[in-house]
Structure 1
């Protein structure tokens, strides 16, 4: 079972930059009217204008903070009554700190935005899609869902949980005509990494990062084909294959070099 090839309406959360912005472009190029959701109104308006200037359907701008209960409930009310063809849970936040030096508030914020909000919106939108008889959800996780990641313990845990949740939900909803696809990108050339305390000038980062356009294209293609998990790019596929061959401690050490700064190591 695959998603219909014509996407009329789509929603992308966290659409003001990075992979979310690229996903909005990819869906618009396929003819969809995209609802773009984020906190930064200026960024969203600029994106909507740019897409419309290319002769594509102008996206609907929805300024909202998904950590705000009023904003979240308002969006749920809208989408439960009129679900889109495709719903993308992309909004998220990272935290690159050793676990013991991470503050509780930041950890709770990450778990809420990266895991609890996608689960809640998947329930709202998924239920409406099941009633209609078709639809597709794309949850954006991370390659970190497959590996232990030093200085990234909470993020990896949240993305692993999101991956397993999404795979389980797909098994529940697919018989009703609704698919759930999980996109697991790796290091990507976005401000997500620029804003965090990452070694963005390191050789590992510069050689490994992917273009968000390529990630978005792979995600939407996988969704349309009804795939359960999408790992974009040959580099990540090779990495997952090597996971079975390389000693576990080597993988952890390599992840630490890529994700931890010198000031973090040993804390």
Structure 2
């Protein structure tokens, strides 16, 4: 099978490695040169994507990410790229297109439970852009598109959390956070090619929501720095549950985030 990655960052590279080990032919599109030898690379801007000289593509992964989280960057990266990508793919016998989006499309922000049956109702501009992107791909490939919505991806560094733990003396509220280890995310994406009947979308999370202040307190205890206080009982965030992933029988190798954090420290 010939597999194309549009966007080739940390997650894509891991997925490609899994697929290469399964004997798949890998090609990638990115805006910078890549050095790994498992794939054929092309440097292209996806907004002017040209696949006319490319060998027939069977399966496509789209993993794009904006440089910043501004509305303009989201629009440029996620939505303005849709039509150029779809136009370029018209030349190819694509069996499946997998688009990595975000759980930002869910608007719940008061500690509600969210799973794969929850309606998508974004409450900010970035979430609306992601929803429009998802719908554009689903409309173009109604029976052959799968949307992936990962929760917070972790597993490469704890620098940001350590810095927050050092600086924070208080936290404003009770904020629910969610995560998926990058290796579990990558394995799921690579194993999708063996699933006969895929759903239109999947939340990917370890289904173990944590209050963010408790994670920071854990780091503070490990680093022997002052423990922060919580200023109010007001609840924000959402609790994510990957119901369809679990129904597939996919086994997580990284269920305990604290165990993973300890290794990274």
Partner of 1:25: 17
Per residue, is there more strand in 1 or in 2? Answer: 2
**How many angstroms does 1:34 deviate by?**
1.1
Partner of 1:102: none
Please list the CA deviations of residues 5-49 of structure 1 after superposition, one character each: whole Å capped at 9, or x if unmatched.
xxx21111221x3222222223212211211222231xx11xx24
C-alpha contact (below 8 Å) 1:94/1:155 kept by paired residues: no
Q: 1:156 to 1:210 in 2, by over 3 A?
A: same
**What is the Cα-based RMSD across aligned positions, in Å?**
3.8
Residue ranges of structure 2 left out of the alignment (5+ in a row): 110-122, 166-170, 210-233, 239-265
SS in 2 for 1:91: coil
C-alpha contact (below 8 Å) 1:188/1:209 kept by paired residues: yes
Partner of 1:93: 66
Q: 1:192 to 1:224 in 2, by over 3 A?
A: farther
**How many angstroms does 1:60 deviate by?**
0.5
Partner of 2:202: 230
Please list the CA deviations of residues 164-220 of structure 1 after superposition, one character each: whole Å capped at 9, or x if unmatched.
23333332xx3xxxx1111111100278998xx999846999973322221122223
Whole-angstrom CA distance in 1 between matches of 2:88 and 2:208: 32
Q: 1:20 to 1:206 in 2, by over 3 A?
A: farther
Partner of 1:115: 79
Partner of 1:11: 4
Please list the CA deviations of residues 111-130 of structure 1 after superposition, one character each: whole Å capped at 9, or x if unmatched.
121123134313431x234x
Partner of 1:63: 43
C-alpha contact (below 8 Å) 2:178/2:205 kept by paired residues: no
**Residue of structure 2 aligned with 1:158, choices 129, 135, 140:** 129
Whole-angstrom CA distance in 1 between matches of 2:63 and 2:14: 11
**How many angstroms does 1:223 deviate by?**
4.8
Matched, 1:217 2:197: no
Which structure is larger by alpha-carbon Rg, 1 or 2? 2
C-alpha contact (below 8 Å) 1:219/1:230 kept by paired residues: no
Per residue, is there more helix in 1 or in 2? Answer: 1
TM-score normalized by the length of structure 2: 0.59
